[in-house]
């Protein structure tokens, strides 16, 4: 009896402890999500007026060629940029993990663009890559690498790479700092032991540093991949969805429908579809990570 009362009491105490978090989630996640689901089942317009339309918005999305094109493009962007950010981030981390003042200065330089807003950096790179006044074209021409200035935004592939270059410059410092922290947290004795065992530098990186930094790498990969799936600002500023709607991302297409075409209901349906896709992808990645950790 007493024991039961104690369990109930501790259960209430536990609930009290998690109540603020539950309240936060209910107010800021569940309620908006519920509203979003409701909105997605209507033909709500930004200019006012709303009528229940059932799953019509979802049917429309599945028959919308631009939605599929935008989704494919977003996945392609994520697949391209994620390994670049992770690989380059890890290389920079290896190069700057030492406690040497020069390494610290290099780390700061690499991290600096992270604190610049994505909109600002996108605008900066838009003009750097401009065919008339852009510095990049001037340098490439002066080096004799190109005969005429490149028009980056005239082609969807070049536009994509222009954005990847700018985002890499802006974001790579984030992964670098995480990886530096992961490398520095490895017990130096383990590395010394590897050295005594005769492991050369690359063997130490491949057999010691990389496995021990796996959790940080996977976490950063997850954050980076989710961020890339939600890409908007950089494409809005640099490619404006062009040429010919080929560089619309999923979020851009959602924005376009909600705020340019005023179709809030359809935009909400697109948002929910994207939420589900990202949720499934992130869950799969977390499950795989856990399996690997157990192994």
Partner 1 sequence: MTRSLRIAGLTLALSAPLLGAATASADDLSMWVRASAANAAPHLTDLWNASHPDKIKLTVIPDNQMVTKLATGVQANQVPDLISFDLIYMPDFMRAGFLIDLTDQMKADPNAAKVAKAFSDLATYEGKLYGTGFTPDVSVLVYNKDLFKQAGLDPNKPPTSVPQIHEFAKKIHALGPDTYGFYFSGSCPGCNIFTTSPMMVASGAKLLPPDAKTEPLQGDGVKGVLEQFHEMWAEGLVPKSAQADNGQNFVANFKQGKIGIQGAGGFLISDLKKDVPNMDFGIAVLPGMKDGEASAFVGGDVVAIPKGSAHEKVAREFIKWELTDEAQLEGLAKNNILPSRTDLADNKYFQADPRIITTAKAVGIGYVPWVFHFNDMVNSDSSPWIQMLQTAIFDGKVDEAIATAKAKMKEIASE
Query: What is the phi-psi region of residue 16: left when phi exceeds 0, alpha when psi lies from -120 to 50, beta otherwise?
Result: alpha
Q: Are 287 and 196 in contact (CB under 8 A)?
A: no
Query: Nearest Cα to 70, choosing from 290, 212, 245?
Result: 245
For residues 36 and 163, what is the distance between their CA atoms, to the nearest angstrom?
Answer: 30
Q: What is the DSSP string of 7-26?
A: HHHHHHHHHHHHHHHHHHHI
Q: Site for partner 1 (CB under 8 A): which residue of 256, 265, 267, 269?
A: 256
Shortest distance (Å) from residue 189 CB to partner 1: 57
Residue 179 vs 253, nearer CB to partner 1? 253
Task: Determine, following the binding rule CB under 8 A, whether residue 58 of this chain makes contact with partner 1.
Answer: no
Kindly indicate which of the ranges 30-38, 47-55, 226-234, 284-292 contains the residues binding partner 1, using the contact rule CB under 8 A: 47-55
Per-residue x/- mask for partner 1, residues 231 to 250, rule CB under 8 A? ---------xxxxxx--x--
Interface residues for partner 1 in 180-199 (CB under 8 A)? none
Task: Determine, following the binding rule CB under 8 A, whether residue 141 of this chain makes contact with partner 1.
Answer: no
- Residue 42 has φ and ψ, to the nearest 5°, of -125, 170
Residue 176 vs 250, nearer CB to partner 1? 250
CA-to-CA separations, 137 to 48, 65, 152, 208, 235, in angstroms, rounded: 47, 35, 10, 42, 20
For residues 216 and 239, what is the distance between their CA atoms, to the nearest angstrom?
Answer: 33
Number of residues this chain uses to bind partner 1 (CB under 8 A): 23
Task: Determine, following the binding rule CB under 8 A, whether residue 65 of this chain makes contact with partner 1.
Answer: no
Task: Determine, following the binding rule CB under 8 A, whether residue 66 of this chain makes contact with partner 1.
Answer: yes
For residues 258 and 272, what is the distance between their CA atoms, to the nearest angstrom?
Answer: 13
For residues 224 and 271, what is the distance between their CA atoms, to the nearest angstrom?
Answer: 19
Shortest distance (Å) from residue 236 CB to partner 1: 10
Token duo for residue 87: 């690989």
Task: Determine, following the binding rule CB under 8 A, whether residue 56 of this chain makes contact with partner 1.
Answer: no
Task: Determine, following the binding rule CB under 8 A, whether residue 124 of this chain makes contact with partner 1.
Answer: no
Kindly indicate which of the ranges 87-95, 113-121, 145-153, 205-213 contains the residues binding partner 1, using the contact rule CB under 8 A: 145-153
Task: Determine, following the binding rule CB under 8 A, whether residue 153 of this chain makes contact with partner 1.
Answer: yes
Residue 126 vs 174, nearer CB to partner 1? 126
For residues 251 and 233, what is the distance between their CA atoms, to the nearest angstrom?
Answer: 9
Task: Determine, following the binding rule CB under 8 A, whether residue 119 of this chain makes contact with partner 1.
Answer: no
The residues that touch partner 1, with contacts defined as CB under 8 A, are 46-49, 66, 131-132, 151-154, 240-245, 248, 256, 259-262
């Amino acid at each position: 009896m007493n024991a039961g009362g104690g369990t109930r009491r501790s259960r209430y105490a536990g609930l009290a402890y998690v109540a603020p978090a539950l309240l936060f989630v209910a107010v800021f996640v569940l309620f908006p999500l519920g509203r979003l689901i409701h909105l997605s089942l209507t033909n709500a317009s930004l200019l006012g007026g709303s009528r229940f339309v059932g799953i019509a918005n979802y049917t429309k999305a599945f028959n919308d060629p631009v939605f599929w094109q935008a989704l494919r493009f977003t996945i392609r962007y994520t697949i391209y940029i994620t390994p670049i950010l992770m690989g380059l981030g890890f290389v920079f981390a290896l190069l700057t993990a030492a406690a040497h003042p020069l390494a610290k200065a290099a780390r700061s330089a690499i991290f600096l663009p992270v604190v610049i807003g994505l909109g600002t950096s996108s605008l900066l790179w838009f003009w750097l890559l401009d065919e008339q006044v852009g510095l990049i074209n001037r340098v490439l021409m002066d080096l004799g690498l190109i005969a005429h200035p490149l028009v980056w935004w005239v082609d969807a592939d070049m536009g994509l790479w222009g954005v990847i270059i700018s985002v890499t410059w802006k974001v790579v410092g984030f992964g670098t700092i995480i990886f530096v922290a992961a490398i520095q947290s490895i017990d130096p004795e383990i590395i010394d032991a590897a050295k005594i065992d005769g492991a050369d530098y690359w063997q130490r990186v491949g057999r010691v540093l990389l496995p021990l930094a796996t959790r940080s790498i996977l976490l950063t990969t997850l954050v980076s991949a989710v961020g890339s799936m939600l890409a908007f600002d950089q494409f809005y500023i640099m490619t404006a969805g062009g040429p010919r709607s080929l560089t619309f991302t999923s979020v851009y297409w959602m924005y376009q429908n909600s705020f340019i075409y005023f179709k809030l209901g359809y935009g909400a349906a697109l948002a929910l579809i994207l939420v589900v896709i990202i949720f499934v992808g992130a869950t799969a990645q977390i499950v795989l990570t856990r399996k690997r950790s157990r192994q």
